[in-house]
Amino acid sequence: MAMGVLRALAVGLLALSSPVWAAKKVDLDYHVRLLPQSDQAEVRLTLAQGSAVRSLDFDLGDGSHYSDFKADGQWQLTPGTQVRGVWRPAADKASLTYRVRISHGRKSGSFDTRMTPTWALMRGDDLVPAAKLDQQDGIELVSRLEFELPTGWKSVETAWPRIGKNKFRIDNVSRLFDRPTGWMLAGNLGSRRTRLGETEVTVASPQGQGMRRMDVLTLLTFVWPQVQEVFPRHPSKLLIVGANDPMWRGSLAARESIYLNSRLPLVSESGTSALMRELAQVFGRINDSQRSDWISEGFAEYYAIELVRRAGGMSDERYESLQSKLAKDSQKVTTLRGEQINPAQVAKAVVLLQELDREIRLKTRNKRSLDDVLRGAMRLESVDTKEFVQLSESVIGESSKVLDTGLLQ
């Protein structure tokens, strides 16, 4: 009797100590087949167990890029200025398939994303649009992305960890719905790789596009110790993709990835660097809210200059002439507030941040700097102008004269 009770008690204790709360893992596979002849990708989402998900509610923008939806379960399109598509999967293994147009043109005749007979430069954010996920409790979706390449295409690059030849693991801890975001490049590519600190860096472009891959790696290697000192958070992988005209002649950061037109200089005649600016965006990941775009844009441009200067790549004379140019370019700016700000406002934001850095160093006897404000902003989910002022004043330990300005009203 006593033995029976003890055995029952032991089994009960074992049951309590075993992780009954562990989430049930359900596979979500993304399969992308690239179709250059129609400038499309065919995307298939497959849930190993459809009943794990009540619904996926996709934001399809104006709807013009997506077509040919086929679903196991229910699929409902809601038209309007913002088209939404809601998938309620069938109970067992369930798939949603659709086509998405890859090339996105601009009025100027250039392209944001592009597909040619031999390569495609695209964004994962377009392949799988943002969606609200409603899933059963106690479920964890395990997501993977696989590409099916056209005949003759050699490889594909993304910023996600590679788990097979054309296969990647998608895991975003900050999101419930793991989707493959960031820049992606497929086709006949030239790539250069290196490891900088904790980060695997890949610079890739289609062959014959004039991308200076080694120049990019050299500049990154040169500034990396400064990057590590400023930013506490380092991605495990960083992908830099580039192509020539008619791709848009600019640069743009996305998740752990950067697009850089191959004609752009790595450091411009004025002394600023598009590559460094986008690098600061990728590492900083600052989300601003309430018409405070000046914060993330200002920080990115400030550190684009500062990282090169601290690494020894900019003389005092050049730094001073760059400051004079920023002051001149921004002299007519009366406000920094807005959802999107223009280049003159960005210049003004940099001037303000430089003044704030000097004020912090002076008032804290060089114990703190703007770096501390940046790290504080990085810890917040989003930051607005009022919170930025509070954060800066907490670093200074008193009110800021620099931030007491009409520019921020």
DSSP secondary structure of 270-293: TS--HHHHHHHHHHH-PPB-SSBH
Q: How many helices (H) and strands (E) does the chain have?
A: 9, 21
The C-alpha angle 152, 158, 163, rounded to 5 degrees, equals 85
Q: What are phi and psi for residue 298, nearest 5 degrees?
A: -65, -45
pLDDT score, position 23: 79
CA distance 273 to 255: 19
Structure tokens given for 52: 């794990």
Strands 139-148 and 167-170: antiparallel
CATH topology of domain 286-408: Neutral Protease; domain 2 (1.10.390)
- Nearest 10 degrees: CA dihedral of 198, 174, 250, 242? 50
Residue 383's nearest CA partner among 284, 296, 297 is 296
Q: Tell me: domain 24-103+116-181, CATH 3.20.20.190, correct?
A: no
Element spanning 73, H or E = strand 73-78
Q: What pLDDT does 18 receive?
A: 45
pLDDT, residue 172, reads 82
CB contact at 8 A, 282 and 235: yes
Terminal C-alpha separation, the chain? 78
Per-residue model confidence (pLDDT) at position 311: 95
List pLDDT tens digits, range 209-264.
999 999 999 999 999 999 999 999 899 999 999 999 999 999 999 999 999 999 99
pLDDT for 118 equals 96
pLDDT at 312: 94
Sites in the chain below the pLDDT cut of 50: 18, 20
Maximum separation of any 2 CA atoms in the chain, in Å: 91
Residue ranges per domain, the chain? 24-103+116-181, 286-408
Within 13 A of 177's CA, how many CA atoms are on the CB side?
A: 20
pTM of the model: 0.90
